[in-house]
Amino acid sequence: MSSSTSHTYEFKAEIQQLLDILIHSVYTSKDVFIRELVSNSADALEKARFCQVQGQAVHSPDIPLEICIATRKEGDSHRLIVSDTGIGMTPDEVRENIGTIAHSGAAAFLERLRAGSSSPEASRDLNLIGKFGVGFYSVFMAAEKVVLTSRSADPSAPAVRWSSEGRGSYSLESFDEDIPRGTSIEVHLKKEEARFAEKDTVSGAIRKYSNFVPFPIRVDGEQVNKVSAIWREPPSQVKDDQYDAFFKFISHDVENPILRLHLSVDAPIQFSALLFVPRTNTEILGFGEGEVSIQLYAKRVLIDAENRELLPKYLRFVRGVVESEDLPLNISRQTLQENVLVMKIRDTLTKKLFALFQELADTKPAEYEELWRTFGRILKEGHADFAHRERLHGLLRFNSSIHEDEKALTGLKSYLERMKAEQKAVYYLSGPSRESLERDPRLEIFRKKGIEVLYLYDLADEFVLGGIGTFEEKPIVSADQAKPEDLRGGGEDDSAEDEKEKREKEKDEEKREKEAASRIDPLIRRFREILGDRVTAVRASRRLVDSPACLVSDDTRISSHMDKMLRLIHRDKELPRRALELNAEHPLIQSLNRIAAAGAADPFLEKACEQILEGALLVDGYLMDPHRLVERMNAILADAAALRAPPGGGSGPP
pLDDT tens-digit readout, 285-301: 656 678 889 999 988 88
Q: Looking at the structure, give the CATH architecture of the domain made up of residues 4-223.
A: 2-Layer Sandwich (3.30)
pLDDT attached to residue 398: 97
Does residue 426 sit in helix, strand or coil? strand
Give the number of residues written for the chain: 654
- CA-CA distance, 274 to 297, in Å (whole number)? 12
What distance in Å separates the CA atoms of residue 145 and residue 165, rounded to the nearest whole number?
Answer: 4
What DSSP character marks residue 479? G
Domain boundaries, the chain: 4-223, 230-365, 396-496, 511-644
Residues in contact with 650: Cβ distance below 8 Å, sequence separation at least 6, in sequence order: none
**How far is residue 548's CA from residue 532's CA, in Å, rounded to a whole number?**
20
How many Cβ atoms sit within 10 Å of the Cβ of residue 611? 17
Dmax (CA) for the chain in angstroms is 135
3-class SS at 270? coil
What element of type H or E holds 508? helix 499-519
- Give strand pairing partners of 399: 455
Which of 625, 590, 598 has the alpha carbon at shortest distance from 610?
625
Assigned fold of 396-496? Rossmann fold (3.40.50)
> Using an 8 Å Cβ cutoff, are 322 and 272 in contact?
yes
Q: Which CATH superfamily is domain 511-644 in?
A: Heat shock protein 90, C-terminal domain (1.20.120.790)
Separation between Cα atoms, residue 629 and residue 244, nearest integer Å? 60
201 residue type, one letter: T
Rg (CA), the chain: 38
Alpha helices in 279-364 (DSSP H): 339-363
Tally DSSP H helices, then E strands, for the chain.
21, 22
Helix (H) or strand (E) holding 271: strand 271-277
Note whether 346 and 268 are within 8 A (CB). Answer: no
Backbone angles phi, psi at 81, to 5 degrees: -120, 120
Helix-helix angle 603-620:587-597, to 10 degrees: 150
pLDDT of residue 79: 96
Identify whether the C-beta of residue 315 lies closer than 8 Å to the C-beta of residue 412: no
Contact 293, 319 (CB under 8 A): yes
Closest CA to 550 of 561, 539, 558: 539
Backbone φ and ψ of 432, nearest 5°: -75, -25
What is the per-residue DSSP string for 146-207?
EEEEEE-SSTTPPEEEEEE-SSSEEEEEEE-----SEEEEEEEE-GGGGGGGSHHHHHHHHH
Write down the pLDDT at residue 576: 73
Q: For CA atoms 456, 462, 463, 468, give the dihedral sign.
A: positive
The pLDDT value recorded for residue 107 is 47
Residue 373, φ and ψ in degrees, nearest 5: -65, -30
Angle among Cα 138, 141, 142 to the nearest 5 degrees reads 115
Residues linked to residue 540 through DSSP beta bridges, in sequence order: 582
276 and 247 Cβ atoms separated by less than 8 Å: yes
C-alpha distances in Å from residue 422, one per residue of 166, 212, 480: 82, 60, 19
Separation between Cα atoms, residue 518 and residue 540, nearest integer Å: 8
Per-residue pLDDT at 405: 93
Task: Output the CATH code of domain 230-365.
Answer: 3.30.230.80
Residues 6+ apart with CB under 8 A from 396: 376, 380, 411, 412, 464
| Cα–Cα nearest to 301, from 206, 204, 185, 187 | 206
Question: Is there a contact between 572 and 624 (Cβ–Cβ < 8 Å)?
Answer: no
Q: What's residue 106's pLDDT? A: 42
Find residue 581's DSSP bridge partners.
539, 550
Cβ-proximal residues to 4 (8 Å cutoff; 6+ apart), any chain? 173, 174, 175, 176
Instruction: Name the 3-class secondary structure at 39.
Output: helix
pTM attached to this predicted model? 0.78
Side chain identity at residue 214, one-letter code: P
DSSP helix/strand/coil, 451: coil
Residue ranges in the chain whose pLDDT is less than 50: 1, 100-107, 109, 117-131, 331-334, 654
3-state secondary structure 48-97: HHHHHHCCCCCCCCCCCCCEEEEEEEECCEEEEEEEECCCCCCHHHHHHH
- 169: phi > 0 → left, psi -120 to 50 → alpha, else beta; which? beta
Contact 269, 345 (CB under 8 A): yes
CB 378 within 8 A of CB 384: no
CA–CA distances in Å: residue 159 to residues 42, 89, 92: 20, 8, 11
Q: Which amino acid is at 295?
A: Q
